[in-house]
């Protein structure tokens, strides 16, 4: 199974139409900033129905409007409503929702993703360089998401492919927790080109010591921050390079920009032998400012 | 020594986590000096191995497990080791997170975990059989792969396997089935196994096939017990509580990380009766000399591995993991020799010698002059005395403490000068003797704290590096790596050779201590657990508070570096503070120690809370546990959970109380 991206569009400024055809359903999350509010509005305007959703990682359940569905029953829930095209608001939904929705509607549906860049991230007062963006108020312990968590053991270790963002603590925590026990090699995928010139340097500088610590056991890769196809291809390259004896699987860490998380979700959905790690951050209110470029990505699964 | 050589030596200290080491740690593990004190051969009771992060729990367990005990690197292994052979189990925590009632329901969650435990143990038994088949035992290896299972054992496997050699594949297939079912419990549930009777019967079965196995006993070690889910910990406790004739279940955990050791039947696992605790940190803290011995041997071992020729016949790396040499290693002569060589690598100066260096260093001397001048100005009895009257190269220690003594109102300069002048006359009644004893370190810290670019020589010398790192060998290894790397920076720092060993200058050591301290505080602590950022902020706040105390010109209470909480107010600690206190102890950000000297009459504080000594070099404060600050609950709440401005206000209060801030206007606060 693989994924193609028939549409990777930049929507003209001010346009209310994001694709020539409307979607049957739009899935949206809770906005925490200006672009999020605009994104929800736009999603609503481009779909016949809108459903607010949220993944509850403690209860392994998915909240869809007023319904609460166990995630192993999501497919049955989706089967009840015939859809040809869905729209996922990636601006307000987090990685687990992108992952589970993508899996649910993977076949026979056009998966549309709406994403709006910010013009600025809210910043902590501190050194001028590198700037420290303040995006999350707290992180949870790394937890498995059913369906994406094959076991690691002495005979099967992991190659961690982590999409890198601004918050270096996410990757560091994962490495500190693992202590080299299961993760024996690290691939860091930096968002280059970034949304705005110089943002890639913030990300690189905040991770410089991780690169130094991990030393030669680190691969540095680059994929465009706002292009899921670029990240998908990058993950594909890493996946193909793994040993074929099953001694190492690909572990995916979605710590980067949302378009890279879309690619990571799609990659995990189409490669059953990969593992996903996530730390469920609590997003800071007003973590960004402004409404930047609006993207519409469409993905379709191929045999 | 060339910089290339130094770089290679620094590499010897880069891999410092047991998890990055092989399962067979014969070459890496040094039998700890406390081994005779805990006597693991005494009984087969379950063990709880505990200690902070990096104190060596995992390598300790791995040393007890079959890959090391039956290592092909050994010769003539006595089959007695089979009477307590370890099976290692570290869970995939996130994967175990799927075996929760919330996902599987109560009953299936427990059964799935027991099944998972069984499959892990079976895989380990299969590896044990592999190890046995190639082990250099005294009478040769024991090959049992082709041996048939007994009728009883075969029954557990439902007739699917017949020989011991098939256990691995059985476990592998079942692990795949379990993995698939856990992702989607709507699939057919696997046939669950339980290890309790199975492991007992396998061991019985194995014991009957070779006389050397007649006493076979497995110790199953569950590493990182604290990371298991609550229901899973209960199941482990069940097994601890109900040990069998042929195996026991043991576990390793970080200190303070788990307080509840309840079984599924709501019984408690009881110390002595059910379990024996081996607290590695405590054992290393109790006898500082043991930590120094271990650290010396570790240093020499790593240097030996990089091809440094050992200058003494006393040290032989092959002795380190051999119990036959433990007694010799614990002898005074051996200790002295080995520690002496470590001291050669990390030379240090004593207090008076550092005082001498201070007088020779124009910037430090200038700071001392200012301190004395400031004090003289305040005293009406100073007369014509100037700072130069108190600076005497023949009395460096006395000169250094004078600045602080003169800042105490009760000491008149015209009296102090008399005692100063007579200090070298051998009069035992001269108060300078006591002043130096009690204030020299405090005075030196005061001087260095104002000049943060100067490497503080109080952070150099093998003994002091051990005090900074103790009880954490991982930190000691980081200090070694950083010190060797610092030596790379400049030959001026004198990385000379002595007896074939590298010598790291005190300055390079001090710089290394500062850089490791910074890295632990700013890079490592923020990533510990889910509250790492908060723990790092607490450590920074405490550091700034004690740094302020170190800036008191009078040094009337020198070297304050830890605190206790007034007992009466403890109930007022808020819930978040209490939770952060616990987390801080779990991650060795704070150590809880028994209160040794409670100077306050009205406070009944029983425990001291000591920040990890490794934070000290970053703040330029003392690492010695000398004096504490008693805080009330509201002050502790402010430090732990207050806003930035609330904390700054608290700090200003202490500044005023301690008369800090007026003393040295050209040096602002260092660590904002």
User: pTM for the full model?
Assistant: 0.88
pLDDT value at residue B488: 62
pLDDT per residue as tens digits for the range A244-263: 898 999 999 999 999 999 99
Would you mind telling me the total number of residues written for chain B in this entry? 672
**Chain A contact residues (CB < 8 Å to B):** 58-60, 72, 138-144, 146-154, 169, 172-173, 175-177, 179-182, 209, 215, 277
Span between the terminal Cα atoms of chain A, in Å: 5
Out of A153, A180, A277, closest to residue B17 by CB: A180
Tally Cβ neighbours within 10 Å of residue B383: 11
pLDDT at site B303 = 86
Show residues of chain B in contact with A175, CB under 8 Å: 527
Task: Tell me the two tokens of residue B435.
Answer: 């002043």
Among A138-147, B196-205, B496-505, top mean pLDDT goes to B196-205
Q: Which of A72, A153, A169 sits opposite B527 (nearest CB)?
A: A169
The average pLDDT across B392-397 equals: 91
From first CA to last CA, the distance across chain B in angstroms is 40
Residue closest to A106 by CA, chosen among A241, A243, A267:
A267
The answer to which of A105-114, A132-141, B380-389, B569-578 has the lowest mean pLDDT is: A132-141
Which helix (H) or strand (E) element contains residue A11?
strand A2-11
B524, B527, B579, B589: which to substitute to probe chain A, counting the most A Cβ within 10 Å?
B527
Give B306 or B38, the one with higher predicted confidence: B38
Hey, of B87, B88, B94, B185, which one would you mutate to test binding to chain A, going by the most A CBs within 10 A of its CB?
A: B94
Q: What is the dihedral of CA B595, B596, B599, B600, to 10 degrees?
A: 20
Q: What one-character-per-residue DSSP string does B230-294 give?
A: HHHHHHHHHHHHT--SSEEEEEEEETTS----B-TTSPBP-BTTTEEEEEHHHHHHH-HHHHHHH
What pLDDT score does B603 carry? Answer: 44
Give yes or no for residue B313 having a pLDDT over 80: no
Q: Are B630 and B563 in contact (CB under 8 A)?
A: yes
Nearest-Cα distance to chain B for A151, in Å, is 6
DSSP secondary structure string, B107-153?
Answer: HHHHHHHHHHHHHHHHHHHHHHHHHHHH--BTT-----TTSBPPHHH
E strand or H helix at B6: helix B3-11
DSSP result, B612-623: -GGGHHHHT---
Q: Which residues of B touch A176 (CB under 8 A)?
A: 524, 527-528
Q: Count CB atoms within 10 A of the CB of residue B632.
A: 16
Nearest to A59 among B92, B97, B102 (CB): B102
Interchain CB distance below 8 Å, A172 and B527 = yes
A4-18, A77-91, A147-161 — most confident range: A147-161
Neighbours of A117 (CB within 10 A): 20
Helix (H) / strand (E) element for B371: namely helix B362-378
- What is the number of CB-based contacts under 8 A between chain A and chain B? 76
Please, are residues B488 and B10 in contact by the beta-carbon 8 Å criterion? Answer: yes
Provide CB contacts within 8 A for A238, sequence distance 6+: A159, A161, A187, A219, A221, A250
Using the Cα atoms of residue B565, residue B568, residue B574 and residue B579 in order, give the sign of their dihedral: positive
Interface of B with A (CB under 8 A): 14, 17, 19-20, 23, 90, 92-95, 97-98, 102-103, 120, 123, 175, 178-179, 182-186, 519, 523-524, 526-528, 530, 532-533
Q: What is the pLDDT of residue B491?
A: 44
DSSP B20-77: GS-S--TTT----TTHHHH-TTS---EEEEEE-TTSSHHHHHHHHBHHHHT-TTSSSB
Residue B4: its pLDDT value, please? 57
Which residue is listed with tokens 């005779």? B36
> Beta partners for B24?
none
Q: Are B640 and B648 in contact (CB under 8 A)?
A: no
CB-based contact A215 B14, cutoff 8 Å: yes
B90 contacts on A by Cβ (under 8 Å): 181
Among A144, A186, A214, A251, which would you mutate to test the B interface (most chain B Cβ atoms within 10 Å of its Cβ)?
A144
Structure confidence at residue B668 as a pLDDT band (50, 70, 90): very low
φ and ψ of B423, to 5 deg: -55, -35
pLDDT at B25 over 60: yes
CB B291 within 8 A of CB B33: no
pLDDT of res. B596: 59
Query: Count of CB atoms within 10 A of residue B133's CB?
Result: 14
Any idea how long chain A is? Answer: 303
Residues of B in contact with A146 (CB under 8 A): 98, 103, 182-184
What's B155-176 look like in SS3? Answer: HHCCCCCCEHHHHHHHHHHHHH
Which of A229-243, B21-35, B165-179, B607-621 comes out lowest in average pLDDT? B21-35
Question: What residues in A contact B530, CB-CB < 8 Å?
Answer: 138-141
Rounded to a whole number of angstroms, the distance from the CA of A255 to the nearest CA of chain B is 15
Chain A residues with CB under 8 Å of B20 CB are 179-180
Element (H, E) at A236: helix A228-240
Q: Which residues pair with A295 in a beta bridge?
A: A10, A115
Q: Which of A79-83, B162-166, B206-210, B244-248 has the lowest mean pLDDT?
A: A79-83
- From A105, A65, A64, select the one nearest A82 (Cα to Cα): A105
Determine whether the interchain pair B23/A139 forms a contact, defined as Cβ–Cβ distance below 8 Å.
no
User: With contacts defined as CB-CB under 8 Å, which chain B residues touch A58?
Assistant: 102
The complex scores an ipTM of 0.91
Chain segment A200-245, per-residue pLDDT in tens: 888 888 888 888 888 777 899 999 999 999 999 999 999 999 998 9
Q: What's the angle, vertex CA B532, arms to CA B531 and CA B535, rounded to 5? A: 90
Which residues of chain A make contact with B183, given a CB cutoff of 8 A?
A: 146-150
Confidence of residue B487 (pLDDT cuts 50, 70, 90): confident
- Dihedral class, residue A132 (left if φ above 0, else alpha if ψ from -120 to 50, else beta): beta
According to the model, what pLDDT value does residue A203 have? 85
Q: Is A218 exposed, middle or buried (0-12, 13-18, 19+ CB in 10 A)?
A: middle
pLDDT one-digit tens code per residue, A258-295: 999 999 999 999 999 999 999 998 877 877 888 899 99
Contacts of B182 in chain A (CB under 8 A): 146, 149
CA dihedral B360, B366, B368, B372 (to 10 degrees): 130
Contact A277 B94 (CB under 8 A): yes
């Amino acid at each position: 199974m693989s994924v193609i991206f028939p549409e990777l569009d930049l929507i003209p400024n001010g346009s209310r139409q994001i694709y020539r055809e409307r979607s049957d359903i739009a899935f949206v999350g809770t906005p925490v900033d200006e672009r999020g509010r605009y994104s929800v509005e736009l999603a609503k305007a481009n779909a016949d129905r809108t459903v607010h959703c949220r993944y509850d990682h403690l209860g392994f359940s998915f909240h869809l409007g007023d319904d609460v569905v166990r995630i192993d029953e999501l497919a049955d829930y989706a089967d009840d409503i015939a859809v040809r095209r869905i729209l996922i608001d990636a601006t307000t939904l987090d990685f687990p929702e992108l992952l589970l929705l993508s899996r649910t509607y993977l076949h026979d549906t056009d998966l549309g993703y709406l994403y709006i860049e910010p013009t600025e991230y809210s910043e902590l007062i501190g050194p001028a360089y590198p700037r420290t963006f303040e995006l999350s108020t707290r992180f949870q312990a790394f937890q498995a998401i059913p369906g994406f968590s094959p076991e690691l053991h002495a005979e099967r270790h992991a190659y961690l492919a982590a999409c890198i963002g601004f918050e270096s603590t996410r990757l560091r925590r994962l490495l500190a927790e693992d202590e080299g026990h299961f993760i024996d090699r690290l691939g860091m995928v930096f968002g280059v080109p970034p949304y705005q010139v110089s943002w890639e340097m913030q990300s690189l500088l905040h991770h410089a010591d991780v690169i130094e610590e991990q030393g030669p056991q680190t691969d540095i890769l680059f994929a465009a921050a706002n292009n899921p196809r670029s990240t998908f291809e990058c993950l594909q390259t890493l996946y193909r390079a793994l040993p074929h004896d099953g001694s190492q699987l690909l572990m995916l860490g979605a710590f980067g920009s949302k378009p890279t998380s879309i690619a990571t979700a799609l990659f995990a959905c189409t490669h059953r032998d990969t593992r996903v790690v996530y730390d469920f951050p609590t997003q800071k209110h007003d973590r960004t400012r402004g409404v930047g470029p609006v993207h519409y990505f469409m993905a379709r699964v191929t045999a | 020594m060339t910089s290339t050589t130094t770089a290679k030596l620094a590499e010897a200290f880069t891999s410092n986590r047991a998890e990055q080491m092989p399962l067979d740690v014969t070459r890496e593990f040094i039998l700890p000096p406390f081994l005779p004190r805990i006597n693991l051969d005494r009984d087969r009771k379950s063990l709880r191995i505990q200690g902070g992060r990096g104190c060596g729990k995992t390598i300790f367990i791995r040393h007890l497990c079959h890959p090391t005990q039956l290592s092909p690197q050994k010769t003539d292994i006595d089959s007695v080791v089979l009477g307590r052979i370890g099976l290692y189990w570290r869970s995939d925590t996130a994967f175990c997170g799927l075996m929760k009632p919330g996902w599987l329901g109560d009953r299936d969650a427990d059964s799935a975990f027991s099944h998972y435990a069984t499959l892990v143990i079976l895989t380990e038994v299969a590896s044990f059989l592999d190890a046995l088949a190639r082990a250099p035992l005294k009478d040769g290896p024991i090959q049992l792969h082709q041996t048939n299972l007994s009728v009883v054992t075969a029954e557990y496997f439902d007739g699917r396997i017949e020989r011991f050699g098939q256990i691995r594949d059985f476990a592998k297939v079942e692990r795949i089935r379990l993995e698939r079912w856990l992702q989607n419990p709507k699939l057919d549930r696997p046939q669950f196994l339980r290890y309790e009777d199975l492991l007992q019967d396998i061991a019985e079965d194995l014991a009957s096939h070779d006389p050397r196995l007649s006493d076979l006993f497995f110790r199953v070690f569950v590493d990182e017990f604290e990371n298991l889910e609550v229901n899973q910990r209960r199941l482990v406790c069940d097994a601890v509580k109900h040990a069998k004739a042929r195996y026991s279940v043991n576990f390793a955990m970080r200190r303070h990380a788990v307080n509840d050791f309840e079984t599924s039947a709501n019984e408690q696992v009881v110390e002595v009766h059910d379990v024996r605790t081996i607290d590695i940190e405590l054992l290393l803290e109790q006898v500082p000399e043991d930590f120094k011995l271990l650290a010396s041997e570790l240093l020499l071992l790593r240097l030996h591995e990089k091809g440094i020729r050992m200058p003494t016949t006393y040290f032989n790396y092959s002795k380190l993991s051999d119990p036959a040499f433990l007694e010799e290693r614990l002898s005074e002569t051996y200790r002295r020799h080995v520690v002496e060589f470590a001291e050669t690598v990390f030379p240090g100066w004593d207090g008076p010698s550092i005082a001498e260096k201070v007088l020779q260093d124009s910037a430090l001397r200038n700071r001392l002059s200012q301190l004395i001048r400031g004090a003289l100005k305040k005293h009406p009895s100073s007369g014509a005395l100037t700072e130069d009257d108190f600076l005497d190269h023949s009395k460096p220690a006395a000169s250094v403490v004078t600045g602080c003594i003169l800042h105490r109102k009760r000491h008149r300069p015209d009296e102090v000068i008399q005692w100063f002048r007579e200090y070298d006359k051998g009069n035992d009644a001269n108060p300078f003797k006591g002043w130096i004893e009690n204030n020299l370190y405090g005075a030196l810290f005061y001087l260095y704290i104002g000049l943060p670019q100067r490497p503080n020589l109080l952070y150099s010398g093998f003994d002091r590096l051990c005090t900074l790192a103790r009880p954490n060998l991982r930190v000691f290894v980081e200090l070694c790596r950083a010190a060797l790397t610092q030596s790379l920076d400049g030959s001026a720092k004198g990385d000379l050779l002595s007896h074939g060993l590298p010598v790291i200058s005190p300055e390079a050591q001090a710089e290394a201590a500062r850089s490791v301290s910074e890295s632990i505080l700013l890079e490592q602590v923020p990533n510990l657990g889910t509250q790492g950022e908060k723990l790092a902020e607490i450590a920074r706040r405490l550091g700034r508070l004690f740094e302020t105390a170190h800036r008191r010109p009078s040094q009337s209470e020198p070297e304050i570096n830890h605190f206790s909480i007034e007992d009466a107010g403890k109930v007022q600690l808020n819930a978040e503070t209490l939770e952060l206190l616990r987390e801080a102890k779990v991650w060795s950000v704070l150590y809880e120690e028994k209160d040794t000297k409670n100077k306050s009459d009205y406070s009944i504080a029983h425990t001291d809370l000591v920040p990890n000594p490794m934070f000290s070099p970053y703040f330029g404060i003392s690492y010695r546990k000398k004096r504490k600050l008693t805080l009330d609950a509201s002050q502790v709440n402010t430090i732990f959970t207050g806003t930035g401005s609330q904390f700054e206000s608290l700090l200003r209060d202490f500044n005023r109380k301690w008369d800090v801030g007026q003393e040295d206007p050209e040096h602002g606060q260092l660590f904002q």
